[in-house]
A and B are shown apart, each in its own frame.
Chain A
Amino acid sequence: MSQGMDKGAAAEKTLGGFYSHISGNKRKSIFLVFLFTLGVAGFGWLVGEAWMEQGLGFLGIFGVFAIVYSLVAYYAGSKMVLGVSKAKQIHKKEDPELWNVIEELCLAGGLPMPQVYVIDDTAPNAFATGRDPEHGVVAITTGLRQKLTRDELQGVMAHELSHIRFYDIRLQTLIGVLVGLTALLADIFFRGLFWGRRGGRRGGNREGNGILLILAIVAAIVAPIAARILQFSISRKREYLADAGAVQLTRYPQGLADALKKISGDKEVLEVANRATQHLYIVNPIKSFEDRAKKLFSTHPAINERISRLSSM
């Protein structure tokens, strides 16, 4: 017991002000939706002015769309992320051990039981999503599930549950869904630009529109990059915090450290992960040797650093 107390205290020290982390996540979530709405509405104005001299109308339409989409992202974001990741919900009878491990940890943290999903993929990884602990979801790939001992599985699940109790999931899910849309919108815009050019629809007023058109193109390029930087900036510290949170629940840092070693040693590629969802996973699903990785900023801290921090607890 005394050893357990020590581990708990060590984790507690790292967690320090995790209450401020929670309120920070909630605040950032609101700020993100605000920024997203503003950005999309502004983008709408640019596009409208450049093409149809209907800036305000487009601003309104895009703004309303952004608000509606943000609401959908808030309430159904987890479903969207799970859908993209091809995850299937399971219950106790399908995997009693996994279910029990999660139930045990929920008792340790005084948390409600999350929904449990499995992704049929041999690449080892896991993530959490949802909007708050009452609507939490944990997902694990079959590859990771089969690789881990009970202690390691406990470590991984404690890490995911800590993302849930620290409200990382709300911010991360919103980022995933909103960043995904920003990339999509930019894509559509470029296509529209292409078609518009080829059609050569309109003459007149070229000079004034030319500037706005350039602005709109700049916005379409900058928006996804800004979104990516946002995704990146929120990604790294939370992993350390969730690791410490996991130890606070399990009082056994070795379990998670061993699991991380196993995951990092694996060279398999998780196909269902993409640019919009990569920051959700326990380790970055996009491996550095892949082509996909080249365009990216890293969303995760180095695993070695995480393991050494765990070992010092």
Chain B
Amino acid sequence: MDPIFIILIILLGFTLIFVISTYNILVRVRNQVRNAWSQIDVQLKRRYDLIPNLVEMVKDYMEYEQETLQRVIEARNQAIDASGVKEQGAAENMLTGALRQLFALVENYPDLKANQNVLSLQEELTSTENKISFSRQHYNDMVMTFNTRIEQFPANIIAGMFNFGQQDFFEIESTEREVPKVDLR
């Protein structure tokens, strides 16, 4: 056989292996990005679920704070109904603000502050707030990894061939990073 022919076959083999492995890596990272996105939803849903419990628990004590409680409930429902990233972000911001206010008010009620159930629910909500922002942070980290990968040579050729497009970052207002830190002391 012609040696040039053999060399060509070997080169073709290497190219094929490169294409397949790069493609598989890109698919894996893209799935990590998607998974990171769905983690945010899990945490948001968890917050929606926790809020009615909290309101139910504190409403008897906080007779004079009905307005604040109402605002929390409304903000929650709005956040659930919101569609689109922008609207959702605004609604979540409002909910965070309302919750922060509620936690601040709890400080005025010694009975509530001493109530173990309220305390543990408060801890869960604080943690869920953190989880929301951390899962967003992780999503953005994954998007950055993915976007860098598909821009780098030679993976960008494979990305172009198979339509791996840039993924969007999750952008939020700076105020939301400051999640309510509930200090119980």
Contacts and interface: CB of A to CB of B under 8 A. Distances in A.
Contact of A110 (B32, B126, B171, B174): B32
A105 B134 contact: yes
Contacts of A109: 138
B142 A110 contact: yes
B177 interface: yes
A186 B92 CA distance: 63
A1 B177 contact: yes
B135 interface: yes
B177 A104 contact: no
A249 B134 CA distance: 8
A107 B135 contact: yes
Interface residues of B, number: 25
Contacts of B107: none
Interface in A100-116: 100-101, 103-105, 107-110
Main secondary structure of the interface of A (DSSP, over half): helix
Given A100-B123, A104-B130, A4 B137 contact: yes
Contacts of B43: 107
Nearest to B140: A5
A108 B138 contact: yes
B137 A96 contact: no
Interface in A1-19: 1-4, 8
A96 B128 CA distance: 12
A2 B174 contact: yes
A97 interface: yes
B71 interface: no
A131 interface: no
A1 B127 contact: no
A104 B127 contact: yes
Interface string B136-177: 011001100000000000000000000000000001111011
Interface in A235-279: 249, 251
Contacts of B123: 96-97, 100
Contacts of B173: 1
A207 to B, nearest CB: 62
Contact of B172 (A1, A151, A249): A1
Contacts of A8: 137, 141
Interface residues of A, number: 20
Contacts of B176: 1
B113 interface: no
B88 interface: no
Given A1-B171, A4-B177, A108 B137 contact: yes
Nearest to A110: B138
A107 B138 contact: yes
B10 to A, nearest CB: 28
A110 B181 CA distance: 23
A164 B44 CA distance: 27
Contacts of A96: 120, 123-124
B36 interface: yes
A110 B36 contact: yes
B127 A3 contact: no
B29 to A, nearest CB: 11
A16 to B, nearest CB: 14
Contacts of B124: 96, 100
Given A96-B120, A110-B142, 8 more contacts: A1-B176, A3-B174, A97-B123, A100-B124, A103-B127, A107-B131, A107-B138, A110-B35
27 contacts: A1-B174, A1-B176, A1-B177, A2-B174, A3-B174, A4-B137, A96-B120, A96-B123, A96-B124, A97-B127, A100-B123, A100-B127, A100-B130, A101-B127, A104-B134, A105-B134, A107-B39, A107-B134, A107-B135, A108-B134, A108-B138, A109-B138, A110-B35, A110-B36, A110-B138, A110-B142, A151-B181
Interface of A: 1-4, 8, 96-97, 100-101, 103-105, 107-110, 150-151, 249, 251
